[in-house]
Amino acid sequence: MPRARVHITGASGSGTTTLGRALAQRLAVPHFDTDDFFWVPTDPPYRRKREVADRLRLLHELLGERRAWVLSGSLDSWGTTLVPLFDLVVWLDTPTDIRLARVAARQRVRYGRAAIAPGGALYDEHRAFLAWTAAYDTDLSEGRSRRRHESWLSELPCKVLRLDGTRPTRRLVRDVLAARASP
């Protein structure tokens, strides 16, 4: 198998995990998601962050010697040591309203409709996460934002492919495969 080390990134709800899984399946290579390394497994999930050194150690152990893999998610603020491993970075750009709808649907599946509804045990957290997701395009803080992602992308030494995250997944996979084939 030729070397294929692809990182897919974008805002929450942009479709990075969906494309990552589909591309990995098409290439018959492992798929990893940064959330699995960023967060310590908890029930309910996403409650405690893993220390940066531990995240990086785990990812380097999994990715370092492999010739091919797909990594989805965001690591622009903590994954600098992984950048030399990338052959291609794919940026998914998806409008805020679509991302919010995707995130809300994902939250309903993950936690259950009742838990995130008004009065539900996770309602406040759900609303806060949607607000954080919505602020991505306009947030000027040092947190995860379009501004920070754009800056990170502009400094990458590898090829960056920018795609419309509203396109069907099968077409996005074809676009990535075509970009890998071109010099």
In a domain, residue 39? The reply is yes
In a domain, residue 176? The reply is yes
Each residue of 17-73: pLDDT tens digit? Answer: 999 999 999 999 999 999 999 999 998 888 899 999 999 999 999 998 899 999 999
This prediction's pTM: 0.92
In a domain, residue 99? The reply is no
Write out the residue range of the structural domain in which residue 76 sits: 4-94+144-181
Residue pair 76/148 in contact (Cβ under 8 Å)? The answer is yes
Domain count, the chain: 1
In a domain, residue 38? The reply is yes
As a whole number, mean pLDDT of residues 160-164 equals 98
In a domain, residue 56? The reply is yes
CATH number at residue 15: 3.40.50.300
Using CA atoms of 48, 49, 51, 54 in order, give the dihedral in degrees to the nearest 10.
100
In a domain, residue 64? The reply is yes
